[in-house]
Structure 1
Amino acid sequence: MDSLFVNSLLEDLKNSDETVREQATKKLWRIWYQQKGIYGLEMIERSQKLLDSGQISKAEAVLTELINEQPDFAEAWNRRAFLYYTTSQYEKSLADCLMAIQINPVHFGALHGMGLSYAALGEYAKAIAAFNRALEIQPYSLVNQKLILECTFRLS
């Protein structure tokens, strides 16, 4: 991964021009998905097709296999976190988000997922902290701003 290019894209996320931000976001997701080449991408796509067709345990098995084979693949952890979140397994989702962030500290998707998991568990202060970390990377993210307001309201 070209760190200068990634750093440039991360800077673009802070640009006032929405088109620049959207392009940078798409490019970062592409880099993250393709981090482990064709095999990693195919496994993630396979798991998504299984998830979309309701074969949740098979999708989980594909992602777990990928994680076991390539434990430094942040997007594999993030995708499994998403699977766990969508099946209301918030503790497991949170653990996988934390692994994705440990591998890739600027993974705004995993930070967002971490915030969603904390909020689902009723840990609103921790959710706010996660959404704020995501906003440090993507300051124009309206969804994270909205979720911070919702969590703040729930705390009061």
Structure 2
Amino acid sequence: MRALLTILAVLATTVARADGCPPAPDHSVALAGLVAQIQSAGSETEARQISNRMWEYWADAPDEPAQDLLDRGMERRAAYDFLAAYQAFDRLVAYCPHFAEGYNQRAFVSYLRQDFPAALTDLDRALELSPDHIAALSGRALTLMGLRRLDEARRDMARALALNPWLPERGLAGPGGPLAPPGEDI
């Protein structure tokens, strides 16, 4: 019986990796260290440098084909070619369904296209795969704001700000901002 369970576990692993994409690199320890650093950063400049280091980890794809798709999608998005960017991220997600950044980037394109429901679906998946992905959390808050689901947006922004108090979007949750606690908004 034990041998049968071992065989079934190996088969399940093989099926899970049948997409051809290796597991995403595990940068959780390094990212946790960067979160601790950014929480104690003394300036916005210092926090931005730490945030850039976080992005290096988030954007580290599982293999070269995945990295090429990620880079191509980001280049196309930067050039405002949202269709080509979306298509690259769509291929990335199909190839590497366990890579959080593929979903996060596709969500960003959907957000820019104001397709908030599609963005929310991808952000939820990114956060399933990487629960403390600060950019996905703040993106989810912005998406929920676009959907006028302000209470949920406030919760997600508060969680993102707890991880990174220097987020550029922090003003949205400040006094007078649309995500300020009820009674402190406009």
Q: TM-score, normalising length from structure 1? A: 0.87
The 5-angstrom pairing of residues 34-53 of structure 1 reads: 34-53=60-79
Distance 1:133 1:70, change over 3 A: same
Q: 1:132 aligns with which of 132, 149, 158?
A: 158
Matches of 1:91 and 1:46 in 2, distance apart? Answer: 24
Distance 1:26 1:51, change over 3 A: closer
Matches of 2:123 and 2:52 in 1, distance apart? Answer: 20
Counterpart AA for 2:172: L
Q: TM-score, normalising length from structure 2? A: 0.74
Distance 1:4 1:53, change over 3 A: closer
Unpaired runs of at least 5, structure 2 = 1-25
Name the count of aligned residue pairs.
Answer: 155
Q: Percent sequence identity over matched residues?
A: 22
Question: How much is the aligned-residue C-alpha RMSD, in angstroms?
Answer: 2.1
Contact 1:124 1:155 in 2 (8 A): no
The 5-angstrom pairing of residues 3-152 of structure 1 reads: 3-18=28-43, 19-144=45-170, 146-148=171-173, 149-152=177-180
Larger Rg: 2
Counterpart AA for 1:96: D
Question: After the TM superposition, which parts of structure 1 deviate over 4 Å for at least 4 consecutive aligned residues?
Answer: 153-156
Distance 1:17 1:40, change over 3 A: farther
Contact 2:66 2:95 in 1 (8 A): no
Q: Is the helix fraction higher in 1 or 2?
A: 1
Distance 1:28 1:119, change over 3 A: same
Q: Which deviates more, 112-121 or 37-46?
A: 37-46
Matched residue SS, 2:127: helix
Matched residue SS, 1:151: coil
Distance 1:16 1:58, change over 3 A: closer
